[in-house]
Amino acid sequence: MLLQMNDVNFFVGKTHILRSVSLAVAEGEIVGLLGRNGAGRSSILKSVLGLYRPQQGAIIFQGRNINGLNTRQRVLGGLAYAPEDARVFPHLSVEENVSLGKWIIEKRRGQIPFTPEMSFDIFPKLRDLWHRRGGTLSGGEKKMVSVSRALALNPTLLLLDESLEGLAPLVVKHFTEAMRRIQAMGISIILAESNLATASQVVDRAYVVERGEIYFEGTTDEIMADAKLRTIVGR
């Protein structure tokens, strides 16, 4: 497995945020984390990235326990994150925003540097936006920039937090096509998403998260066929 979380527990004070979370992601797989807002999906992603430091359990990435690594070390090791709110720098151009990933990452032997053409192959619309300021972009366009910036880090595993949230159906279609292109590059994806119907268009397998716990693991077809699971996911 590319990634494994084994019995991960995370507390903030006395509040139990993640409860014995165990999950796995295989190489080349797109895995969904489904659930309502506040269920713990983002906390799982941030724990993998090292933004949160669980008090119990192990996170194994590429066969290595990364519990003791900070976020920068994890990014250099092959993890990348696109946050829910995109966090595009408004006064920088699209090109400059994406290039931040290239500036942060150190050269790693045997890897092909991320190029503008790679961004255009994944999100063709970025070609026309390349010199636009981040602050002038629509919500969907900002998310394209955020994902491209994460890809510029040359990750093995891409963590996407609500990348499809709030997008128009046509834009969702463009994003699902982009995720398949990313998958074809050999990059695995964890997609935290609250919309079951949207996630079902792209994920290979899904975990249902409820109150900081993994409630179910299986296919989106199995989730859709179960009234209780549909209620937990919310939509």
CATH number at residue 60: 3.40.50.300
Given a cut of 70, whether residue 79 has pLDDT beyond it is yes
164 lies in which domain range?
3-233
CA distance 162 to 147: 11
Q: Where are the beta strands (DSSP E) in the chain?
A: 3-12, 15-25, 30-34, 56-61, 64-65, 79-82, 157-161, 188-193, 205-210, 213-218
End-to-end C-alpha distance for the chain, whole angstroms: 30
Question: How confident is residue 225, by pLDDT bands cut at 50, 70 and 90?
Answer: very high
State the total domains in the chain.
1
User: Range with the lowest mean pLDDT among 118-127, 129-138, 160-169, 183-192?
Assistant: 160-169
163, 158, 233: which is closest to 192 by C-alpha?
Answer: 163
Pairing between strand 15-25 and 3-12? antiparallel
17-40 pLDDT, tens digit each:
999 999 999 999 999 999 998 899
Q: Is pLDDT above 70 for 71?
A: yes
Residue 152 has pLDDT above 70, yes or no: yes
Q: Which residue has the tokens 């006064």?
A: 91
Residue 165 burial by CB count (10 A; 0-12/13-18/19+): exposed, middle or buried? Answer: middle
Q: What is the pLDDT of residue 108?
A: 53
